[in-house]
Structure 1
Amino acid sequence: MELMSLAILGLIIVISPGADFVLVLKNSIAQGRKAGIWTALGISAAITVHITYSILGIGYLVSQNVFLFQCIKYMGAAYLIYLGVKGFFYSSDVLAQQGNVQQETNLIKLALQGWLCNALNPKTMLFFVSIFSQVISPDQQGLFGALLYGGYMIILHAIWFVLVAVVFTSPSMQSRLLKVKKRLEQICGVALVSFGAMLAVKG
């Protein structure tokens, strides 16, 4: 598969709405721009996990081991449901104040949320395993191509999800969201629960 085709495929995968998008959206609306950006950085950091096990061949072994794959799948599903339920019941009509003390202390926690959301997603794991099987070859050039593509995916995730956080916390967007903030947070919560439930029941 040509690198250009892989680059376009990666872009489509990243911008396709999913659990990562909903989580960044929810955190941005609920806690402000910085919260969304740190969530986005956590998501992009998780890509290093997928790159590492794909290059080492561990991802393929896990994907072929039903028990291990099921464990990862249910852990990911449970975490999404937890985030969704929490987001639904802790939604608020009050817009976050940028840079408040409480938010500053939660930034690492928000990054960890993003990291776990992406790292525990078995769909992401299967995507990277399938893509890296096309990129990696036994020679040194193949390893360089895999690392190059991995770096591209990290940067792509960071740019896209930071952009989502910035757009949805812009002054014009904030003024529009003020009346529907709580309802939108609840919708994001329901969406995360739905993603988790579908992940759990899907074979």
Structure 2
Amino acid sequence: MIAPDTLLTFVIAAFVMVVIPGPTVLFTIGRAMSLGRLGGFLSVLGTAIGSVLLVVAVALGVGTVIAQSVVLFTIVKVLGAGYLIFLGIQAIRHRKDAAQAIVAEKTQRSGWRLLGEGFVVGVTNPKSIAFFVAILPQFVDLQAGSVPLQLLVLGVIVVAIGVSCDVLWVLLASAARDWFGRSPQRIEAMGATGGALMIGLGAFLLVWSEKPATA
């Protein structure tokens, strides 16, 4: 299996990469500010499930195929960016409904729906695909056993670190949301801000051109 020193080096490298705010962090903050702590946690869980699916795909070789195909990589990027923009527009359009729901202390969003939305964002995140395909193989020891199993273990570690950091972001963002929540007008502005974050993130991903180099 993976040598302890190699594993420690990987954990440090993964932590440094994860703590730098990226697409998932911005999505998590936007959802927590728009929907509150529970909405943020469900979104984190959804993105984590999507990320695990990417890890499995990379371990089985699908991720490499996507990364080496300009067409497939572009399709994934456009789908993910477009979905984020759609969610952002919906958050802005329904910001008054969100404010009324919070004031009335009722939950209007299905937990399964929040999970599904987070899953779509996680599984179509081109930055995650690029990271898993470009970074994970560098820490694989060809003499240490099953390469797919090593990739799976490394990928799950990355996801675990990401979930831990995202949970902290949810707590911070939801705390700010509670403060804004004392006024319906603040909630409306907050919902619009969260939506704007997701729209901006989607637009960024549309023009983001990074792609793992092929051998």
Q: Tell me whether 1:70 sits opposite 2:71 in the alignment.
A: no
Give the deviation of 1:79 after TM superposition.
0.8
The answer for the alignment partner of 1:116 in structure 2 is: 120
Q: 1:24 aligns with which of 19, 28, 33?
A: 28
Once the two structures are TM-superposed, the CA of residue 202 in structure 1 deviates from its matched residue by 3.4
% same residue: 22
Aligned equivalents of 1:99, 1:142: Cα separation in 2: 50
Q: Name the SS of the counterpart of 2:102 in structure 1.
A: coil
1:1-203 matched pairs, under 5 angstroms = 2-92=6-96, 93-94=99-100, 96=102, 100=106, 102-103=108-109, 106-138=110-142, 139-140=144-145, 142-170=147-175, 174-176=178-180, 178=182, 180-203=186-209
Higher mean C-alpha displacement, 76-85 vs 147-156: 147-156
Pick which of 180-189 and 128-137 moved more: 180-189
How many positions carry a matched residue from both structures? 200
CA deviation profile, 1:34-81 (whole Å, cap 9, x unmatched) = 111111111111121221121112211111111111111111111111
Deviations 1:137-174 (Å, cap 9, x if unpaired)?
Answer: 4452644433332221222222222232233334x761
Displacement after TM superposition at 1:97 (Å): 6.6
Letter aligned with residue 108 of structure 2: Q
Specify every segment of 5 or more residues in structure 2 that has no aligned partner in the other structure, as ranges: 210-215
8 Å contact 2:87–2:198 — kept in the other structure? Answer: yes
Deviations 1:3-52 (A, max 9, x none): 33321232233232233223322322332221111111111111212211
Change (3 A) 1:98 1:156: farther
1:140 alignment partner, SS class: coil
**Gaps in structure 1 of 5+ consecutive residues:** none
CA RMSD in angstroms comes to 2.6
Deviates more, 1:33-42 or 1:192-201: 192-201
Could you tell me how far 1:178 is from its partner in structure 2? Answer: 3.9
The whole-number CA distance in structure 1 between the counterparts of 2:192 and 2:112 is 23
